[in-house]
Amino acid sequence: MIWLIVLLFILIILRIPIAFALGFVSILGIVLSNTDLLINVPRNIFNGVDNFTLVAVPLFILAGEIMTKGGISQRLINFSKTIVGPLPGGLAMVVVLASIFFSALTGTAIAAAAAIGGMMIPAMNKEGYDRRFSASLVATSATIGPIIPPSIVLILYGVIASVSIGDLFIAGVMPGVLMGVGLMIYSFIIGKKYNYRSSSRRSTLKEVLTGAKDAVLALIMPVIIIGGIVSGIFTATESGVIAVFYAIIIGMFVYKEITYKDFLPILLATAKTTSAIIFLIGSASLFIWFLSFNQIPNQLIEVLGGVSENPILLLLIINIVLLLAGTFIDTISAVSIFTPLFLPLVVGAGIDPIHFGIILAVNLSIGMVTPPLGVCLFVTSSIAKISVPKMLKFLFPQVGILIVVLLIITYLPDVVLFPVELFE
């Protein structure tokens, strides 16, 4: 039955939508093995989406849409400027810092790339920054989105792998910070090399406090979400409701940049994104059942032989596969495909599923800035009005930094798991 997995990837390469490819391969496998099992198709699709935890997906998407349109981005950028703006490569460091803050609100890379890029790329151009550097940095900084909580990717992984979403959120903080620190160091080096400096004057304490005052209401939201989950006040799903109400209050009544007329396009965008994800989860659920019924993970273990018993080699192989797959499969789809394939292997090798979930998320986030798919690259290249190939000179070192972080969290699991154990 492994040939069906090969067929799946052929369909993906042929640009068949992932949800249809998963469903087709699963149903074809069932027909070829036992047509009586077709009765399980609608049942497994329904069971896959009949999960209370999945309610968090549209809620966080909705909260992110409201935050994006509620004037949050500009306030986060202004606050970031007061912290690192005067340093060499200051505006570039602002991009990274603002992306970290923004990721803690939306949990998606594309939203961060569009919101931060739309404001910062023109500003960096005025300051004399190379367009290639600006566009590539905004794209790579946006990859922090699926790692810093709340994260749609980690929610989906938690549902599929049946692990605590709260633990995944906590585990994602340190890797996200490491990615941001690595990119900020690179920005500082580039700023020194090309003499990119916005101002020689450091921000005064009053300016920092003013910037913090404007941004603090936005920055409180992830604290409320993580704090509430860790303390047991509410679940990850319930935290999505809190996030939506908080975003509405801040956007409408505090910042006053959202009106009732804005809600229809916000709700339509949320519904469009959510429906695509839920449809994919239904197809993925059928695919997972098909894999389990035919014991395909066990067949993979047999194919890999002794490698499946060696955590170091197994994680190396998985990282290579995920990095390659991320270049042509979108993040949400890849989580649906690779979680059921690899999870039995990593658990059998004694690897913590929380640790593996973060490895998976970081790998697939890097895929969002690697050609040919690299959706974040296309977002920022269109804003900067340059082609993706022209960005490669600066893109490769940045991706290299992200891969170094990936290796750190892969082979130093305490970096990921220590915060989880600390809050238990």
Structure tokens at 150: 């709340």
Q: What is the pLDDT of residue 208?
A: 66
Q: What is the pLDDT of residue 356?
A: 95
Structure tokens at 13: 């390469």
Give which of 195, 189, 210 is closest to 81, Cα–Cα: 210
Q: How many other CB atoms are found less than 10 A from the CB of residue 138?
A: 33
Q: What is the pLDDT of residue 7?
A: 81
Contact criterion met (CB below 8 Å) for 217 and 108: no
Q: What is the pLDDT of residue 179?
A: 94
Task: Calculate the alpha carbon distances from 243 to 53, 151, 170, 239, 352 in Å.
Answer: 15, 13, 17, 6, 29
Contact criterion met (CB below 8 Å) for 92 and 196: yes
In a domain? residue 320: yes
In a domain? residue 17: no
**Looking at the 3D structure of the chain, how many domains does it have?**
1
In a domain? residue 264: no
Structure tokens at 162: 């049946």
For 80, the domain range is 51-258+294-422
Q: What is the pLDDT of residue 199?
A: 56
**Cα dihedral sign for 357, 363, 365, 367?**
negative
In a domain? residue 309: yes
In a domain? residue 5: no
In a domain? residue 42: no
Cα separation, 33 vs 36, in Å, equals: 9
Task: Calculate the alpha carbon distances from 61 to 64, 107, 266 in Å.
Answer: 5, 8, 10
Phi, psi of 307 (to 5 degrees): -60, -35
Q: What is the pLDDT of residue 413?
A: 93
Cα separation, 188 vs 300, in Å, equals: 45
- Sorted by sequence, the CB contacts under 8 Å of residue 145 that are 6+ apart come out as 99, 102, 103, 106, 107, 108, 109, 110, 111, 112, 151, 365
**Residue 181: Cβ-neighbour burial (10 angstroms; 0-12, 13-18, 19+):** middle
In a domain? residue 272: no
Tens of pLDDT along the chain (424 residues)? 667 777 877 887 777 777 788 888 888 888 887 777 777 788 777 877 777 777 777 887 787 778 777 767 667 777 777 776 667 777 888 888 878 877 666 666 777 787 778 777 887 887 788 889 989 999 999 888 788 887 888 888 988 888 988 889 889 989 999 999 999 999 989 988 888 766 555 666 666 666 666 667 777 777 777 777 767 787 777 877 888 888 888 888 887 888 888 888 888 888 887 887 788 778 877 877 777 777 766 666 666 666 767 888 889 988 988 888 777 777 777 888 888 888 888 888 889 999 999 999 999 889 888 876 677 888 888 888 888 888 888 999 999 999 999 999 999 999 999 988 887 6
Q: How far apart are the first and last CA of the chain?
A: 41
In a domain? residue 265: no
Asked if the peptide bond before residue 150 counts as cis, ω within 30 degrees of 0, the response is yes
Cα separation, 148 vs 73, in Å, equals: 16
Give which of 338, 337, 336, 356 is closest to 346, Cα–Cα: 356
Contact criterion met (CB below 8 Å) for 247 and 66: yes
DSSP-assigned letters across all residues of 258-317: --GGGHHHHHHHHHHHHHHHHHHHHHHHHHHHHHHHTTHHHHHHHHHGGGGG-HHHHHHH
Asked if the peptide bond before residue 344 counts as cis, ω within 30 degrees of 0, the response is no
